[in-house]
Amino acid sequence: MTSPVLGTPLVDWSAAAQIAGRVARPGPLASRDELAELVAGLRTAASDAVPHVLRVTRMVPAALPGSAAAPGGVASEEPAELSQVFVVDRPRWARANTEVMASLTDGVADALTGKDDKPVSATTALVGAAQVGAVLAALSSRVLGQFDPYSAAGGSADSAAGGSAESAAGGSGLSAAGGRPDGGAPPGRLLLVAPNVLQLERDLDLVPADFRLWVCLHEQTHALQFAAAPWLADHLRARAHDLLVGLSESSRHLADARLREKVATAGRVVVRAVRGEGGGVAEGLLTPDQKAVLEEVSGVMALLEGHADVMMDAVGRRTVPTVRRIRARFEARRDGQGSSTLDTVLRRFLGMDAKLAQYRDGAAFVRAVERQVGRDGLNAVWTSPGTLPSAREIAEPGAWVRRVHG
C-alpha cells in the first residue's frame, strides 16, 4: 500500500496532463497551408475583436499594459490588450487546463489534512489524475476558446510558445501572439483551440473569417470582464476553493463507506446525470450548504457566459456579415441536432447541459436588465461582489434591478 505523503495534491497534475494528451482525439486533417492560414486567421481575429468588444460593452479595463481611458470613462482610441493569445491544439488545451485546475485547487489538500491528519496518498493523487485526464480529453474536442484569468502570461504553461502552425492544429505545440515590445503583458491568457474551430466551421459550412472573429468576440468579452472587474478572479477562486474543500470531504467520506453504499451513491449520481437532473456527476455528492455555494458560483458563471453571448452578437452584421447564420447553426448544434446518443449521455454526465443552460439563462438576464436600465445600468454588475446577481436573480432579473438600482 502506498503511504500518504505530506504536501501531495489531490491530483497528480503532471500525470493528468499526460493522460489527457494521450487520450484526446486527433483533430481534422488539413494541409500545411491550411493550418498556417488557420493559425494566422485566429491571431488576426483575436486582435480585431478587441476594439469591437470595447465598443459594444461600454466597459473599460481597470488597468492593463498598453491601455488607457479617456475622460468620462470612455476607452481611448488606442485599444487595450485584453489578453495574451495562444493558438493551441487539443492536447495543449488539456495540459493548460490541468494548470488552471491546479491553481484553483491549491491548498485544498492541506485544508483537508489539517482537519483529520490523513494526508492524500500518491495513489489517490494518481487515481484523480486518471479521472481528470479522461474528462479533459473528452472536453478537448468540444471547446473553441477559453479565457484563463488564473495563469499569468509567460508562466510555465507558455513554455511551448512559438510552436508551428502544424502543431497548433494537430500536433502538440502552442503558438503565441500578443504581448508588447517592452515585455509587458496583460494578465490572463486566451486559448483558441484551432482544430475545433476548423472542424466546426467545416461541419456547419460557415465563412471562416466571420466565424473566427465571432468566437474571438466571445472570448475577448470574457477577458474584458476580468479586466474591468479585477477583483472577480480572486472572488471566484475563493468560492471555488470552499466548494472543492466541501466536495473533497464528501468524496473522502464516501471512500470510507462500505462498498454497498459506494455503489448505491455512485448509481444515484450517474442516473441523475444521464437523465439531465442537476449539473452533472459532482452535484450528486454535494450537501445542501455546498449546493448553495454551487448556486452562487453558477449564477456568476451564467452572467459571464450570457453577457459574452449577447455581446458577440451585438457587434452586428456590419462587423460579422453572417452573424445571424452563424448563431442559427450554432444554436442548432448546441441543441444536439445530429448528435449521437452517446454524445448526449456524455454531455449530461459531464454536466455540459448545465453549461448550455448557463449561456441561455445568462443571456436572458442580460437582455432583460438592458431593457429596464440600459447597457450602462447592466454594467453595474462589475462594480463589486455585492452587485453580482444570485442564481435567483438570474431567473428574476427584475429582482436584481430593484436591489442594485432601487
Q: Facing residues of 70 across strands? A: 74
Mean pLDDT computed over 112-127 = 62
Q: What is the pTM of this model?
A: 0.79
Residue 240 pLDDT exceeds 50? yes
**Structural contact between residues 101 and 9, judged by C-beta atoms closer than 8 angstroms:** no
Report the number of secondary-structure helices (H) and strands (E) in the chain: 16, 6
pLDDT tier, 47 (very low <50, low <70, confident <90, very high otherwise): very high
Of 367 and 330, the one with more pLDDT: 367
User: Within 13 Å of residue 234, how many CA atoms lie on the same side as its CB?
Assistant: 5
pLDDT at 194: 97
Say how far apart CA 194 and CA 6 lie, in whole Å: 40
Which residue is it, cell 472573429?
Answer: 213
Compute the distance between CA of residue 305 and CA of residue 346 in angstroms, rounded to an integer: 21
| DSSP single-letter state for residue 10 | S
Sheet holding 145-148, edge to edge: 145-148, 189-193, 84-88, 174-177
β-strands 189-193, 84-88: how paired?
A: parallel
pLDDT reading at 325 higher than 90: yes
Q: Name which of 143, 124, 329, 281 is nearest 222 in CA terms.
A: 143
For position 264, what pLDDT does the model report? 55
Quickly state the pLDDT bin for 11 (edges 50, 70, 90).
confident
Judged against a pLDDT cut of 60, whether residue 334 lies above it is answered with yes
Q: Tell me, what's the pLDDT at 44?
A: 97
Q: How far apart are CA 354 and CA 339, in angstroms?
A: 17
The pLDDT tens digits of the residues spanning 255-307 come to 555 545 544 555 554 455 444 455 554 555 567 777 777 778 888 888 998 99
Total count of residues recorded for the chain? 406
Per residue in 366-386, pLDDT tens?
A: 999 999 999 999 999 999 999
Overall average pLDDT of the 163-168 stretch: 40
Across residues 113-127, what is the average pLDDT? 62
pLDDT at position 144, please? 93
| pLDDT value of residue 326 | 96
Strongest mean pLDDT among 43-57, 76-90, 143-157, 338-352: 43-57
Nearest to 132 by CA among 88, 174, 173, 94: 94
The residue ranking higher by pLDDT, 209 or 69, is 209
For 103-108, what is the mean pLDDT? Answer: 71
Question: What pLDDT does 285 receive?
Answer: 57
